[in-house]
Homo-oligomer: A and B are copies of this chain.
């Protein structure tokens, strides 16, 4: 299979005809609604007049915003005004899904809480992304990703013996909340389509979502009573496994089973290690990890990273380069799949995005609409909801819309 998931010629979009009103910003919510948009939903993103999603202003680059806001229509709307709230309810009345991540108390001020939205739309799937959630001792604490990483235990498993707990480089707290939100909305739409429910209210607390991702790391603690150690560049109970230096740069090798150890030694012409009793079981290899590294050093340093990876991969041994966020796009697999995509925009530079990663046969995900400028679709969306030119003009004069 070559090419990107969104390049296929035909096929129905799984969320064709579904409309999502999106009142989220920065990352967690936008990632959730991007998933729904990729699957074919029309996403109407409400943004504050004159300012928009906070991520539009993040330094150093507006491209931050672009990576999670394709397939959305930007509507600039002042929800602090009663008229703006009425417009929002008009949009919500015809929508299927509402995803919002405003701070505690704010959505009630806007008159867009679940009860109010349900009055105009008895079938709505209403999804709130919170930091900690209603009733939490931290209910009013803003949940920044790093805070959630700290409080969930994610930082504690990241780092080395010699560092303090470190941030996981991914925005794991945001991603956990975002992916649970899109999954939960899909589950509710499915139940609604089957006629099992009319409407649904969903809350995804970011901290709880992040904690659920500990999964097997938590299992270590459930079994031993001990915290899972920070991972560094090696695995606590598998070897050879980790970062190894070649002549020019480091690579990752993960020869974590007896058969992979055999194939690893054979591919490197070091068969004599297979009969070395310091290395004759996984336990022995873990215990004598440093001796093994010393034995391997000359062999690895005689090769370039590229040579070593080719040799090991040809032998079916998991090994690969350590890409950064620039070099990853030059990887042959990534190039062939076309994962880095451009979306053309009139009068503005192309947006660069990462394609939807999942391949389907009957349905198709889509990259339809490039990330929009603030308020780019305000008029179109209002017109499609029955507002005439005069009404739109009046709203604009009073700064209710941008």
Contacts and interface: CB of A to CB of B under 8 A. Distances in A.
A118 B4 CA distance: 25
Contacts of A242: 146
A252 B140 CA distance: 17
Interface stretch (A79-87, A164-172, A291-299, A385-393): A164-172
A111 interface: no
A22 to B, nearest CB: 16
Contacts of A186: 183, 186-187, 190
A243 B164 contact: yes
Contacts of A201: 360-362
A233 B155 CA distance: 9
Interface string A204-225: 1101110111111111111111
A132 B360 contact: no
Given A67-B219, A168-B168, A201-B361, 18 more contacts: A2-B135, A60-B224, A136-B333, A141-B316, A144-B254, A152-B323, A157-B170, A157-B325, A159-B166, A165-B324, A170-B217, A180-B358, A183-B186, A202-B358, A204-B357, A207-B333, A208-B358, A211-B339
A64 B208 contact: no
Contacts of A329: 221
A325 B227 contact: yes
Contacts of A55: 216
Contacts of A220: 60-61, 63-64, 325
B172 A137 contact: no
6 contacts: A1-B203, A61-B219, A141-B313, A142-B260, A142-B316, A211-B328
Contact of A153 (B171, B231, B328): B328
Contact of A63 (B165, B223, B260, B325): B223
Nearest to A2: B135
A115 B396 CA distance: 57
Contact of A68 (B180, B216, B352): B216
Contacts of A339: 208, 211-212
Contact of A62 (B64, B67, B163, B223): B223
A59 B237 contact: yes
A247 interface: no
